Structure 1
Amino acid sequence: MRRKRLRYRAWHRGTREMDLVLGPFADAHVESYDSPALDRLEALMDEPDTDLLKWVMGQEPVPSHVDAELLAFVIADHQKRVGQ
């Protein structure tokens, strides 16, 4: 149930841009994540879309409280999908 909720949250963020970043990522990775990894993803998804989008686009540095390693993995996954 937790994984299903996370996938739903990833696809229904409030901004289409973040839906397209987090939705495919969640579809591809959530099923293989253990509980600590799901905790990390949930914490990242708790950040506001406006901030996440700025970090994904490289418009602002990632603050120290954010899991930069996971965010970098999300960004790399997205870039691979869109062919950048």
Structure 2
Amino acid sequence: MRRMKGTLSARPLIPRCEPSNQGSLPTPFEEDNEPDIIEEELLLQQIDNIRAYIFDAKLNGRTDEVELLSENLRDLQRTLQEQRSKTQ
């Protein structure tokens, strides 16, 4: 496949499946008994993004959007605090 400079390949990203000790391959359908933990760095990036969106919405007078984004920001901040308390 020919690629132009600066473009992404159309090839899909497929995760590697490594065999487990039991001889079976993991599947995306298996239940994970561990609680979901979102990486702190990803949460911080999302918080920064939402803050930027709020700033933009305020500048452009989109008060409904500011309200929704502010709720999302509070949810992300709450999730971050919960994550930090779980890992301490």
Query: One fold, TM greater than 0.5?
Result: no
More helix by share: 1
Higher Cα Rg, which structure: 2
Query: What TM-score results when the alignment is normalised by the length of structure 1?
Result: 0.30
Query: What TM-score results when the alignment is normalised by the length of structure 2?
Result: 0.29
